[in-house]
Structure 1
Amino acid sequence: MTEETHILVIFPHPDDETFSSAGTLAQYSDQGVPITYACLTLGQMGRNLGNPPIATRESLPHIREKELEKAAQAIGITDLRKMGLRDKTVEFEPHDEMDQMIQNLIDETNPSTIISFYPGYAVHPDHEATAESVVRTVERIDTHKRPKLHLVAFSNDAVEALGEPDIVNDISAYKTRKYHAFKAHQSQTGPFLEQLANPKANASGAPKEAEAFLTTETFWTYQFND
């Protein structure tokens, strides 16, 4: 973990921050590094309503907003921005408007590092659109002023295509904080929470996978071709 002055986190959905980087962000928070989290949507179109259901289609946006706030609190994020885009439509946002929104965040916060998704390896269309906009925007910045990009890749072929991640962060000391962030997103994470809480009760391979989610987070540093 390098010394940082400000972390800017940009993800499209509530819970993206928790799955990808809650432990790392909690670590930065404890080190006193300012963190700004720009969550582009409220996950209004999330497939899950809780298990058992705790939401309806009408109430889900409000519930997910409250879950986002609770997760940010668990992680230690105090500067949470809700950017007001609509879930599952980020890919249709005009590129110039998306890029300007991200540039405005960069101008305001002057981050040393941005955490987001890696374009081409982020699986979901909203993830990909977010990743592409982040990279486009940062690429336009003078090389000596650019923040670092520490990006998350979830696709099955990520390691084969990109190589091993250059940042492998041991978050064992923060696994309780990450678990509580998962718990905050209960409308979406119910079955996964059961696995995290009792991995031995699951199928072969599940314990190792569940433990890995709580003890290790990985990132690729994006390299520009200039």
Structure 2
Amino acid sequence: MQSQQRLLVVLAHPDDESFLCGGTIAKMSEQGVHITLLCATKGEMGRRMGNPILATRESLPGLRVKELNSACEELGINDLRFLHVRDKTIEFESIDLLAERIVKVIREVRPGALVTFHEKYGGHPDHCAIGRAAELAFLKSGDPGFYPDPVFPAIKVHSLYFVLWHAFHEKWLKENGLSSITRVNIAGTLQKKIRALRSHRSQTLAVPELWGNQIPSLPFLKKSEYFIKGNSPNDIEDNDLFQTIERMR
């Protein structure tokens, strides 16, 4: 089981994966990495219903799950799971209980790396909240005394990364510098990212630039994606999953 490299991505809403790290996910999948996406909500409170309207408030959750499944196919995500938290309420959930549920997935999947939101640079309360819970799960995953499981033993995830949304890139660099940033070249998988974004029709039909014949000039569609190293750069070894994938480009 562990001969294949594995990545766990823990995000808040359907479409987060495509907007923020779709090119990286697709690149890793092409290199044979098994990708698990753990999505906290079904995006049922999303303010967009399509343009023209594709859904009602009642039908939106089912539509967004269907769209996410299509995006996962485009990006090569092997395993999609949900925490079934209500959209726009993650910040009110117990961080310890959320971390326990994420730890359970970690111990079953046994990933080499975990990607999530930074609690300060998430840009949305749901993003920041799930990032806090996922980081706690990362820290506790190797502790057999935390949420003991009779089936899956404790495992320490090797590395933690936070997605760096383009809107916070300059702010992060100004406050923290470049040394903690990992850049992933996604030029080869940019088209897959675009197709995944188009899968989220209810949310992206309102972005006409995304639907033309040319590669759109949008800030979230550059040829690189950026990640903040969650554990100390001194702890990032040569066998780190991200570094291995980048050497394969």
- TM-score range relative to shorter protein: 0.7 to 0.9
Q: Taking structure 1 as reference, are residues 142 and 105 closer, same or farther at Cα in structure 2, changes over 3 Å only?
A: closer
Q: Which residue of 2 aligns with 1:168?
A: 183
Q: Write out aligned runs for 1:102-121 (5 A).
A: 102-121=102-121
Q: Write out aligned runs for 1:171-190 (5 A).
A: 171-190=186-205
Shift, 1:139, TM fit? 2.1
SS in 2 for 1:213: coil
Name whichever structure is richer in helix by fraction: 1
Q: Write out aligned runs for 1:112-131 (5 A).
A: 112-131=112-131
1:217 to 219, 225, 246: 225
Q: Which residue of 2 aligns with 1:203?
A: none
Shift, 1:150, TM fit? 1.5
For the pair 1:151 / 2:162, whether they are aligned, the reply is: yes
Contact 2:7 2:114 in 1 (8 A): yes
Contact 2:159 2:231 in 1 (8 A): no
CA distance in 2, matches of 1:139, 1:82: 21
CA distance in 2, matches of 1:118, 1:163: 16
Shift, 1:215, TM fit? 1.9
Contact 2:114 2:157 in 1 (8 A): no
CA distance in 1, matches of 2:158, 2:32: 19
Q: Taking structure 1 as reference, are residues 59 and 176 closer, same or farther at Cα in structure 2, changes over 3 Å only?
A: same
CA distance in 2, matches of 1:125, 1:70: 26
Residue type at the aligned position of 2:92: F
Residue type at the aligned position of 1:153: L
Q: Taking structure 1 as reference, are residues 84 and 141 closer, same or farther at Cα in structure 2, changes over 3 Å only?
A: closer
Can you list the C-alpha shifts for 1:52-95, whole angstroms capped at 9, x where unaligned? Answer: 11111111011101001010011111211122111001111112
Q: Which moved more, 1:163-172 or 1:136-145?
A: 136-145
Shift, 1:179, TM fit? 0.8
Shift, 1:142, TM fit? 5.0
TM score, norm. by length of structure 2: 0.79
Contact 1:170 1:217 in 2 (8 A): yes
SS in 2 for 1:191: coil
CA distance in 2, matches of 1:213, 1:176: 10
Residue type at the aligned position of 2:100: Q
CA distance in 2, matches of 1:190, 1:116: 26
Residue type at the aligned position of 1:21: C
**Structure 2 unaligned runs (5+)?**
144-154, 236-249
Can you list the C-alpha shifts for 1:5-27, whole angstroms capped at 9, x where unaligned? Answer: 21001001000000111111111
CA distance in 2, matches of 1:141, 1:43: 27
Contact 2:50 2:205 in 1 (8 A): yes
Contact 1:138 1:147 in 2 (8 A): no
Shift, 1:121, TM fit? 0.4
Shift, 1:158, TM fit? 2.5
Task: Give the fraction of aligned pairs with identical amino acids, expressed as a percent.
Answer: 36
CA distance in 2, matches of 1:147, 1:100: 18
For the pair 1:31 / 2:45, whether they are aligned, the reply is: no
Contact 1:36 1:79 in 2 (8 A): yes
> What is the aligned residue count?
215
Q: Which residue of 1 aligns with 2:210?
A: 196
Contact 2:138 2:156 in 1 (8 A): no
**Structure 1 unaligned runs (5+)?**
201-205
Residue type at the aligned position of 2:230: Y
